[in-house]
Amino acid sequence: MIRAAAKNHGFVAVVTDTGDYDALLQELDANAGATGYRFRQKLALNAYARTAAYDAAVSNWLATTLDVTPRRTAVAGTLAQTLRYGENPHQSAAFYTDGQARAGVATAVQHQGKELSYNNINDTDAAVELVAEFDPKNGPACVIVKHANPCGVSQAASLVEAYQAAFQCDQTSAFGGIIALNQTLDGPTATEICKIFTEVVIAPNADEEAKQIFAQKKNLRLLTMGALPDVTAASQTIRQVSGGYLVQDKDTGQILPSDLKVVTKRAPTAQELQDLLFAWKVAKHVKSNAIVYVKDGATVGIGAGQMSRVDSTRIAARKAQDMAEVLGLEAPLTQGSVVASDAFFPFADGLITAFEAGATALIQPGGSMRDDEVIAAADAAGLAMVFTGMRHFRH
């Protein structure tokens, strides 16, 4: 009936959204109880979109239930916000939600600050998805993101310590960044965050002391989700390319200690193993080629998005050296660290660079034609290395 009325919009005004009620009453008042053709067209547009969204929801549910790849797919969403612009001021943009109850930036409550921008939403989502990898039961964790890449990640005894350690990884990039926390934001952590300019802070909740502290920073956006998203829940990611869409399952891959294969003569120590698993979680959320140095539950160097893996290794080490100089330390932050690579080392050069930076252990998927060469280089350097059998490309 809705579609029939929409098809007949030349003579029928079809209303499918309570949000259109006020506009309808105004239209009737302005036209002596009648409606104009253009207004009925707008109502028909809304009606077609509503039925299309319903059909999309049903067809996508059936495709998931039956575990089949449909010949046609449909994407539907509800307008949540018309954005000032997109990635750049000359691009128009909007934010649509898909109706899922999964915690995240789409379901978060904004307590203060300016309207979220396109880049704010994209970066905040990246921060949330990474911090959710760290179960709050295992301790407080903090993620700092800049341009959709983490520039600092830490897990510590307290939330403020987690933030401080994450910030220490790359203080320069943290300026104007996005901060995600896996536990309730408290006053001490809010005080530390306010020492530099931050765009967005998102957490499951925030206590009153933290809210009062942030209230002094009018432009700082504070969002609470009520919970963390389930990183193991099945869903899909969609990316537009010229002439079509790429659809894939979300990367929900998880690695347990029992999944690891020690391939070197030396096995990692208990502390190295703990840091290796931490680094692996972070590398999953760094743009490829991804290299992550970790020491004592905190990132100390991150190399992202390079065309060469060895370049990512070098950049991460150089940034760690720069931070050591800022902190007045003689040794680089990477001294005694472990390294995660989102994909295999195609040559031994990346591993050697990590060793020269002070790394003692590595985690990588394995599977290169030159694995034997890489393993031999690790043994020669006295490094411990484990293979996951799983890669985490993120383009």
Catalytic residues: 7, 147
List Cα–Cα distances, 127 to 104, 236, 286, in angstroms.
Answer: 10, 18, 11
List Cα–Cα distances, 60 to 54, 65, 74, 236, in angstroms.
Answer: 10, 9, 8, 11
DSSP H stretches of helix in the chain: 2-7, 21-30, 37-66, 118-131, 159-169, 171-174, 187-193, 208-214, 270-283, 309-326, 349-356, 371-381
Q: In whole angstroms, give the CA distance from residue 261 to residue 56.
A: 43
Q: What does the angle CA 272 – CA 276 – CA 281 come to, to the nearest 5 degrees?
A: 155
Q: In whole angstroms, give the CA distance from residue 150 to residue 4.
A: 50
Q: Tokens representing 33?
A: 């109880």
Q: Tokens representing 283?
A: 């590398």
Q: In whole angstroms, give the CA distance from residue 134 to residue 155.
A: 8
10-39 burial, b for 16+ CB within 10 Å, e for fewer? eeebbebeeebeeeeeebeeeeeeebeeeb
Within a 13 Å sphere around the CA of 299, how many CA atoms are in the beta-carbon half? 33
**Strand pairing class (291-295; 298-303):** antiparallel
